[in-house]
Structure formats: C-alpha cells, structure tokens
Amino acid sequence: MELEDINTVAVLGAGNMGHGIAEVAAMAGYEVALRDIKDEFVQNGYEQIEWSLNKLAEKDQLSQDDADAALERVTPLVDVEEAVGNADVIIEAVPEKMEIKKDVYGEVEEHAPDRAIFATNTSSLSITELADVTDRPEQFCGMHFFNPPVRMQLVEVISGAESAEDTLDVIEELAEDFGKTPVRVHKDSPGFIVNRILVPLMNEASWLVSEDETTIAEVDSTTKYDMGLPMGSFELGDQVGNDVSYHVLEYMHEVLGDAYEPAPLLETKVENEELGKKTGKGFYDYEDGDGVDIPTDDQSEFVKERLLATMANEAAKLIGNDVAPPESIDEAVQLGAGFPDGPVKLVDEFGLEPLLETLEDAHDETGHERYAPADYLAERAEAGGFYESADDGAGVDFDAIRVEYPGDMVGHIVLDRPHRMNTISDDLLAELSEAIDLLEDDEEVRALLITGAGEKAFSAGADVQSMAAGGANPLGAVELSKKGQSTFGKLEACDMPVVAAIDGYCLGGGMELATCADLRVASDRSEFGQPELDLGLLPGWGGTQRLKHIVGEGRAKEIILTAERYEAATMEEFGFVNELVGNDELVDAALELTTDLAGGPPIAQKFTKRAMLAGRDDTEAGLEYESSAFGHLMATDDLMEGITAFMGDGEPEFEGK
C-alpha cells in the first residue's frame, strides 16, 4: 500500500488518545471512523473533537472553515463492521491491557479489508504478541502517539517481529502527513524508546527514596534545576499517573526481569490510590491547590549520578540490542518528554566511565539487578561515548543549529531545537557564533538567512530551564549575558546582509536575535514580545540597546516595560517587521529576498553596514551596564519567583527583593 492509497482511517477507542488521534487524522484530510463500545463513549469523544477544533479556530491555528470541514470528516460509530469495513488503516487506541487489545483485534480481523494495515497505539506492550492474534502480522505495527496527540509532535513507529518494511514505511509517511515526526523503533522491546528511558528513571527515583538514600525534594530539585529536565521525577510521575508508570513497570518486570521491579514507594502510592494529579494526591498533594513546590537549591550530586547512570544503562540496552540508534533515542525523548537535550547526549557529556563505575559500585553494594551494567555500556565507556567521534575533518558538526546552503550564495542558519521552541541555550550561542564565523569565511556565501525549525517558533527566547538549572549565580549570569551580547553583536556586525525569517513565536532572546538581522520577514501568525520583566529580568543580550534604533525609544520602552505580546501586523506598523507574508509563503519570500541581497555588491554592502553601525550613539557603555544589571537581577528573589511561576504556568508575585 502507498500513502496515496490511504483515504479512510478507523480509530478504535474514543477516549483521550483515541479522539485525539481521530482529530489529527481528520485535520490532515482523512475520512475518519471513530468507534467505541457504547454510544455515550463515542459521542463524548466526538464532542471533545468538536470542542478542540473550535478552540484551535479561536486561537487562529486553523480557520473555522477548516475546523468545520475536519469535524465533518469524523463519523462516530459503535458497530465494528461499519467502522472498519472500508478502512485502509486501523489505529487501535483502547485501554492498555493486553487481553482487551487482543479481543479487539480478534473481532476486527473478521471485518477489516485484506488491504488494511493495523497499527496499535500501545505505549509498551508487545507488538509481536498482538500481531499474532491477526492473520496479517506483516501488515501490523505500533504507532504510538503521545498525549495530547493534537499537540505532541512525536509518533513512535514500532516494528513487530514480522512487520513488513513497506508497512513501516507507509505508517511513517502517514504520521508525517498527520504533521507529526515519526521515530522508528527497529525492534519490539518493552517501553520502546521514551517509556524505556522515563519509566526506569522514575522508578530509580522511587527506589532511592524508598531506601532512605534521599528525599522527594532532593530528587526533584536535582532533576529540574541541576539536570535541567522539564519536570522533577516525582512531579512527572504525578503528571503521567502513578498507576500508568506502575503498570508499565509490571509489564517490563514480567518480560525483562528483576531490573524493572517496581519500587516499594511507587507500589504503596498505587495501593493507596494516590495516583497523582487525576486523584488529587500522589507524591504531591493537589487537593489544597498548592500542588508541586520544588526547592530550587536542594540538589544532590549523588542523586544526579544515580539517575544519569540509570539513563545510560537503558540507552546502552536500546542501542546495543539494535532497538534504536543514539540519534533516534535523543530525538524521541526530546520530542516526547521535552528534554532540552537527548538522554544519550546528556550521559555522553557527563562521561560514561564514571556512570559505569556508579552502577558497578551500587550493584556491589545492593546486589539489585537494576544496577547490573549492560555489556554495551562498558564497550562504549571504553570508546568514549555512545556517539561516534566526528574527528574526521569532514566539516563542523552542530547539535543545536543546522547550517545549510540553499544555493545562490546564501548561507542558511537554522535554530534546530523545535522540541524546545528553538529556545536559546548556552550550547546554541556557542554554535551560532561558530556558524557565523564559518559562513563569513566562506567565499561562496554572500548573504545569511536565519530561521527556526518547525512551525511554532522562530525562537521563544532564552532556555529558562537551563537558566534555572544554573542557579542564581550573578557572575555566571553576567558571563551568559556577555556571551549572548558577543554572539549577537557578531551577527549584527557581519559584513554580509542578514535576513531573519520569523514564523511563530519570536520572544525574549529570540526577538533580540531577530533585532540583530538587517531585515526581518514574518508570517502572519508570528507573535513578538520581550517578556523578561515578567520574570524579574531585563533583556540581557542587547535588547535594551538595539531595539530603540529600529522602532524608536518610545516604542522600545513600550515593548520592554509592558512585556506584552504583539501581533506581526502591529510589529510591521512599528517598523520592526520589514515584510509580512502569508504563513505558507514565508520560506520562499525570505529566501528570495536573501538571494537578491546575495547578488548585490558585497564591498558596498559591507561598508554601508559598517557606516550605519558606526553612526549610532556609542552603545558600549549601555551594553556593559546591561550585563551588570542582568547579573545583579540573577541574585534576586524576584527572579526565582518569576522563573518558578513561568515553569509552573502561574502568576509571579514580585516583592522587590
């Protein structure tokens, strides 16, 4: 079957995952049969789709006509034969119980066309075992969406023992047509990629607390503010549902052995029905409205090493058993769990040798199988890391950005952290500086284009998690500010014309970056702002000095002091955006403009830019004061209040301390 042969998708199960998958398929233009065992269940799922589509239309993420058309493509059904009888692809999203899923496939097999592909939305169960219930194991695979499917980008495409390569290829293409990013899981292994990393990580955190090695506060402070992960381990457990984590562990324990034995603390939480947010209480108490309160300064190096060692061991098992390569693991966990960097990169940077030693010491001390090092971990520790060394002189390798050459003397820098809204980390600043040097030294490049990967953000600003993970360190903050100023200043002073193509959010440090471009082209849906004052900070990468030269001092003060967000059309009126284009026209329009500039007289362009920059007021003193103020603010209580509120999606209460 080819992608163009797929017209109708049946989704079995109208719960949160099922109706979300159905909505995604309908928005992509497919006819969708949404089926559940009771009319009330399927009607509720249909109503949830209607509500969600209308909300997307209200937020201008699609037109009302498109929302109405997508809803019309969804047919709610109870009868199995009617739901699957004409389906090209059947995506099953029923409860995560092996027997329930097997019963569904036994029934569906009777009525599905011979051509139909079966895809199960399981998060950890065996694809091979489920496929054995059917008469078409070669047309059976996993298609694991993440919750909520409408928002989450990742889809794990999992091979069963007999899945045909053609089946996997077309399901990957279907996921891409849904607007998602598929990551291939090459072998049927419990937990696949994301859950195989996350669930043992949460379990190890629970074991450490169960055995009085640490506290919940220490673990979550370490994972969130030292390791820089999006949530504390226990905070994440409460979000996912402690029963969900427990059942995944039970299955892993059954299939893979004692290394995945659930921790007593987690088991107790499930027995007491303290399942997390959904029950009002888990590792944290949500009933009184306080919820999660994680200290910012209670980190533990011991906890960090144990958790990183657990991640390293699980990564070794996945890579060593050919389940997935390092790149796929990092991409999947970044997209599916919001890690700022992938787990393989994290453990490589920390060092595999000390993590292997941590596991060996813990195994000697406790005798528990969860600390038994994988053979492949020792092999890669000796080699220096999971990733192969790139010391072959073939060019520069980047992680946080991409450098491309679209032709006609244009160098293209892509901020490549779409899973983090292209937020600007310390690593990205270093790579951006290196890329500017690389392209300036290239005689074949005469103009630069800067974009952000994905359709959500040019850049949503500084990576607040990385900032929080660094702690309230004024001297470090001054250095970070100066590093950003230096890199952005290098871009501004670049002898070549620079065009920023802005699509989606252009906020904070992202807007400061765009300010350094010579010209800015923006899509209609773009949104701008300098929200630093809402965090108790100020723009620290040149924003207090450069913005006024583009929009005037009055507008610059308005934008910075109000911390408001502005539509692209408004920023065009202010003179910040030079050209406003339709959402689908941005790339072509920006590339055309950059190509035109690249064809101009390079010497005249160079001296024109230098003359205009020299003609400004001397901003060196202003930049020095900006860095000093940024560092001073890093030591304030107001900053931690602002960051904590931001990361918890709350409102800060500044006290001027």
What angle do the packed helices 352-366 and 375-383 form, to 10 degrees?
A: 150
Residue in the block written with tokens 């090092």: 373
CA 509 – CA 21 distance, rounded (Å): 34
- Residue 9: closest CA among 31, 38, 29: 31
Please say if 632 is a catalytic residue.
Answer: no
Sign of CA dihedral 522, 528, 530, 532: negative
Determine which helix (DSSP H) or strand (DSSP E) holds 179, and give its type and residue range: none
**DSSP helix/strand/coil, 364:** helix
**Distance between CA atoms of residues 388 and 178, nearest Å:** 33
**Opening angle at CA 577, ends 576 and 583, nearest 5:** 150
Q: Which residues pair with 120 in a beta bridge?
A: 92, 142
Distances in whole angstroms, Cα of residue 545 to Cα of each of 548, 595, 616: 7, 29, 11
State the catalytic residue, choosing from 19, 111, 144, 363. 144
Nearest to 586 by CA among 542, 526, 637: 526
Q: Of 210, 212, 209, 211, whose CA–CA distance to 220 is shortest?
A: 209
Say which amino acid occupies 449: L
Are 538 and 532 contacting, i.e. CB atoms less than 8 angstroms apart? Answer: yes
> CA 603 to CA 372: how far, in whole Å?
63
**Residue carrying the six token digits 């890391």:** 385
Residue pair 153/418 in contact (Cβ under 8 Å)? The answer is yes
- How many residues does the structure list for the chain? 657
Rounded Cα distance, 504 and 514, in Å? 13
Q: Which residues are catalytic?
A: 144
